């Protein structure tokens, strides 16, 4: 599947085949994609524990709890617990030095290393409490999770992100470090629903979201580009497709689901 089609096809797949395990190779490719994502200062604070339902204790399953649409977790063959490890920020200087030595930062290596020691690293150390508040690190983690999600779609899998309602319990039962912050749970499996999953979910109008040169001047949306994106299947039919309710009724019976 091409990238644009994968972006268009990616949905929150809430209905997964409970009985069909996911090959670890496919999960590995998701993790490999997450690992390659960009990070400010290359800190790489995104971590994950992959939980296979078949191997999970009742204690772990209880801690894998989400308030909204939590039924998905009990049926998902795999749940990836994504977390941010703040300990990665404490060794950020090492990551910067690696960037310089990889010739990805600075033009002259010796001058760049000196600049790191004298200016950049002390600056980041002083600014770290503020940086932790900015959400920058969380944003980078999101980029990693997004890359993993696209690789999942490309491999025929479906995923759905769920906010964790028992983050502290999860930290304990999965032995996450004290410095961890649980970000989100990602159910992974083979979709039980059609790939369209009822169609493209509602999005706010393009012009309302994006500006050109100054906020309030809508970025002009070229209809030819829109047509191109329809052709490449990045833009797909809006939800609900006419037969969605029948599909939901069928899924509810097949998967023994609650009304909500």
Ligand X SMILES: Cc1cc2nc3c(=O)[nH]c(=O)nc-3n(C[C@H](O)[C@H](O)[C@H](O)COP(=O)(O)O)c2cc1C
68 three-state secondary structure: coil
Identity of the residue, 72 or 92, whose beta carbon is nearer to ligand X in the bound complex: 72
Scan for tokens 């999942």, then name that residue: 152
What tokens does 234 get? 């990045």
Phi and psi dihedrals of 252, rounded to 5? -60, -45
78 three-state secondary structure: strand
Among 46, 100, 162, 188, binds ligand X (CB under 6 A): 162
Which range touches ligand X (CB under 6 A), out of 19-27, 65-73, 125-133, 169-177? 65-73
Whether cis (ω within 30° of 0) applies to the bond prior to 240 is: yes
Give yes or no for residue 68 binding ligand X (CB under 6 A).
yes
Residue 15's nearest CA partner among 246, 215, 218, 197 is 197
Scan for tokens 């039919």, then name that residue: 237
Give yes or no for residue 46 binding ligand X (CB under 6 A).
no
Give yes or no for residue 221 binding ligand X (CB under 6 A).
no
**Cβ contacts of 30 within 8 Å, gap of 6 or more:** 80, 148, 149, 151, 152, 155, 188
Residues 171/46, Cβ–Cβ less than 8 Å: no
Which range touches ligand X (CB under 6 A), out of 30-38, 93-101, 128-136, 158-166? 158-166
Identity of the residue, 132 or 201, whose beta carbon is nearer to ligand X in the bound complex: 201
Give yes or no for residue 146 binding ligand X (CB under 6 A).
no
Maximal CA-CA distance, the chain = 67
Total length of the chain: 260
Stretch 86-105: interaction string toward ligand X, x if CB under 6 A: --------------------
Q: How far is the CB of 4 from ligand X (least distance, A)?
A: 16
Among 163, 177, 220, 238, binds ligand X (CB under 6 A): 163
Identity of the residue, 102 or 204, whose beta carbon is nearer to ligand X in the bound complex: 204
Among 69, 241, 248, 250, binds ligand X (CB under 6 A): 69
Residues 187/160, Cβ–Cβ less than 8 Å: yes
What tokens does 113 get? 């290393």
Identity of the residue, 121 or 136, whose beta carbon is nearer to ligand X in the bound complex: 136
Identity of the residue, 11 or 53, whose beta carbon is nearer to ligand X in the bound complex: 11
Among 132, 195, 201, 230, binds ligand X (CB under 6 A): 201
Give yes or no for residue 171 binding ligand X (CB under 6 A).
no
Q: Which residues bind ligand X (CB under 6 A)?
A: 11-12, 66, 68-69, 161-163, 184, 201
């Amino acid at each position: 599947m091409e990238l644009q089609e994968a972006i268009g096809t990616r949905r929150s797949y809430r209905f997964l085949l409970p009985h069909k395990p996911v090959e670890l190779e496919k999960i590995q490719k998701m993790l490999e994609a997450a690992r390659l994502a960009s990070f400010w200062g290359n800190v790489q604070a995104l971590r994950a524990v992959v939980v296979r339902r078949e191997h999970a204790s009742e204690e772990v399953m209880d801690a894998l709890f989400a308030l909204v649409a939590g039924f998905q977790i009990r049926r998902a063959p795999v749940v990836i617990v994504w977390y941010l490890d703040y300990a990665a920020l404490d060794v950020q200087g090492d990551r910067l030095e690696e960037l310089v030595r990889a010739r990805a930062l600075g033009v002259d290596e010796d001058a760049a290393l000196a600049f790191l020691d004298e200016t950049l690293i002390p600056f980041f150390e002083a600014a770290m409490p503020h940086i932790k508040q900015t959400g920058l690190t969380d944003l980078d983690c999101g980029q990693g999770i997004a890359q993993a999600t696209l690789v999942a779609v490309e491999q025929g899998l479906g995923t759905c992100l769920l906010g964790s309602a028992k983050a502290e319990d999860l930290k304990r039962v999965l032995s996450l470090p004290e410095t961890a912050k649980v970000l989100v749970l990602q159910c992974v499996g083979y979709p039980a629903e059609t790939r369209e999953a009822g169609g493209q979910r509602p999005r706010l109008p393009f012009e309302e979201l994006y500006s050109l040169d100054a906020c309030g001047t809508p970025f002009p949306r070229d209809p030819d580009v829109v047509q191109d994106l329809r052709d490449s299947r990045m833009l797909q039919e809006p939800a609900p497709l006419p037969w969605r309710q029948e599909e939901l009724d069928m899924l509810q019976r097949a998967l023994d689901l609650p009304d909500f």
